[in-house]
Amino acid sequence: MFSKLLSFVRLHGAGGRATQELLPSRFLIHNPGLRYPALLDHNDPLLHTSYSIPDEAIKDFTPPDAKQLRREAGIQHHRRGELDQAIAVYKEILQDEPDDIFMLYHLGVALSGSEQWDDAIQHLEKTVALQANHSEAHNSLGHAHAGKLDFELAVQSYDNAIAADQKYATAHFNKGCVLLKQGQFDEGWKEYEWRWDMPSFQPFNCPQPKWQGEDISDKTILVHTEQGNGDAIQFARFLPLVRARCKKLIVVCTEPLRLLFKEMDCVDEVRLPGNLPANLFDVYCPIMSLAGVLKINYDNLPITTPYVSISKQVVVPELPNNGRKKVALVWAGCPTQQINHHRSCPIEDMMAITKNSQYDFYSCQLPLSEEHKVILANHTVVALEQELVSYSHTGALLLQMDIVVSVCTSVIHLAGALNIPAIVLLSPHADWRWLMDEKTSSWYPNTSILRQQNSGDWKSLISAASQELNERLNQDSSG
């Protein structure tokens, strides 16, 4: 690549004497990180690895290909998440070359990313029609069919991706999630294990072997948490089954979970992530792999709750006992989670539930913006943010509630694990753990499930939640 520079360039005059003149010059830059021409200052460190090319010689070099520059521009928009711009560029290129497989695939992926499912399917199907073994396109087709909630076609597409590339971890993992959503646990857990071969997952690094279900009655097992804290709470139900098979059970978890796991009778020792002694354990297992190792299916899933408890040493404020029912609210999940735009409810929509003045409402949302604090105050919702220092502290507050109303977050898993009455609010694109058509969670018998009929329609869902809230609390009162 070339850059034009106005600089003092050393020229050799007659007799080898050096003179300096201010001349326009071009430079060939030996730097793989510099992809495009740039205007450089004469002090730029790049000049130390550059040399001048006479203007006459420059004419012999081929200029950048305009088509390639357009393709690069589209890809850059796509990488930055500028999907509308990327789609426009891809479509423009395809007008000239309608069978460009590279562009067809990337357009399909961009359309899928913007949830234009039908258009995505159209372009991805054309991609695989032109190249039947395009594993990535088959995988993306699966994602688009799943987006339309057509899980049968989604599984078919993932199978096609795997047929084209048997070690395609992402396709295996995606298929596993769909199977689990359908309640097909036996095969689902096997496919779900492919997550450890995906770039986005970092396996536990140790010389000890991973537990595969063999006899460990004389061994120490280390179980480590993974993914979100809600996942760890959900799968903590399997720890007593593990402890029944081993000599000692060590759990490695994040600090917010430490007190919660420490209070479990089946856990012998709790450690935080970091350097661990080499002789601390004999085998290990990720906590979300326990279900597969233990051969958990829909029929033998442990559903006894509570399976966690709160230490009496955990101190939180005692909420007013005024005879009014207490309702905890959570409306948003982690903003970096992949489908957070589907699972998080606007706070303004959630506040509609507080119109029922016969209850006291508490926010267990973390963190809170200043704007949200004002909105809560205007709706007479007590913010408990400062008290939510660990999941044990959060649990101690939830135990004072009559019911929890939450989107899919770690708080709803904690409420379920503690057997606190709860209502979970879901979009049609909810995670696999809530299955498909259930109205009461298979994982948490005291948690009812409300689902949007139309994606993004939180107002109707909150209205249904208000009705469900009244029915459940009045039922409790009459009982």
Fold topology of 66-197: 1.25.40
Confidence tier at 10 by pLDDT (50, 70, 90)? very low
Identify the H or E element spanning 286. Answer: strand 283-286
| 92-103 residue pLDDT tens | 999 999 999 999
Per-residue pLDDT, 41? 55
DSSP H helices, 165-254, are: 169-181, 185-192, 229-235, 239-243
Question: What percentage of the chain reaches a pLDDT higher than 90?
Answer: 74
| 271-329 residue pLDDT tens | 999 889 989 999 999 999 999 999 999 899 999 999 999 999 999 999 998 999 999 99
Token pair belonging to 2: 């070339």
Per-residue pLDDT, 298? 87
State yes or no: pLDDT of 50 exceeds 70. no
Contacts 24+ apart (CB under 8 A), 21-27: 24/55, 25/52, 25/53, 25/55, 26/2, 26/52, 26/53, 26/55, 26/58, 27/2, 27/3, 27/51, 27/52, 27/53
Return the CATH number of the domain spanning residue range 216-293: 3.40.50.1950
State yes or no: pLDDT of 151 exceeds 90. yes
325-478: CATH homologous superfamily?
A: Glycogen Phosphorylase B; (3.40.50.2000)
| 346-397 residue pLDDT tens | 999 999 999 978 899 999 999 999 999 999 999 999 999 999 999 999 999 9
Per-residue pLDDT, averaged over 12-19, amounts to 33
Per-residue pLDDT, averaged over 213-233, amounts to 96
Per-residue pLDDT, 31? 44
User: Comparing 120-124, 195-199, 245-249, 475-479, which segment has the lowest mean pLDDT?
Assistant: 475-479
pTM of the model: 0.83
Number of neighbours of residue 80 by Cβ within 10 angstroms: 10
Give 353's contacts (C-beta < 8 A, 6+ positions apart).
Answer: 327, 329, 361, 405, 462, 465, 466, 469
15-19, 33-37, 55-59, 123-127: which is most confident: 123-127
Q: Give the chain's mean pLDDT.
A: 88
State yes or no: pLDDT of 341 exceeds 90. no
Q: Are strands 422-426 and 403-407 parallel, antiparallel or unpaired?
A: parallel
Per-residue pLDDT, averaged over 191-216, amounts to 93
User: Comparing 64-78, 95-109, 149-163, which segment has the lowest mean pLDDT?
Assistant: 64-78
Report the C-alpha gap between 452 and 455 in whole angstroms. 6
Per-residue pLDDT, 420? 98
Q: Residue 363 in 3-state DSSP?
A: strand
Per-residue pLDDT, averaged over 120-144, amounts to 97
User: Could you tell me which residue, 42 or 157, shows the higher pLDDT?
Assistant: 157
Token pair belonging to 220: 């120490």
Report the C-alpha gap between 196 and 284 in whole angstroms. 14
Confidence tier at 43 by pLDDT (50, 70, 90)? low
Per-residue pLDDT, 204? 86
Quick check: 252 and 272 in contact, CB under 8 A? Answer: yes
Report the C-alpha gap between 31 and 47 in whole angstroms. 10
Domain ranges of the chain: 2-58, 66-197, 216-293, 325-478
Give 51's contacts (C-beta < 8 A, 6+ positions apart).
Answer: 27, 28
DSSP H helices, 356-435, are: 370-378, 391-398, 410-417
Distance from the first to the final alpha carbon of the chain:
78
Closest CA to 158 of 111, 112, 191: 191
User: Could you tell me which residue, 26 or 339, shows the higher pLDDT?
Assistant: 339
State yes or no: pLDDT of 449 exceeds 60. yes
Intrachain domains 66-197 and 216-293 with the same fold = no
Is 312 exposed, middle or buried, given 0-12, 13-18 or 19+ CB atoms closer than 10 A?
Answer: exposed
Per-residue pLDDT, 120? 97
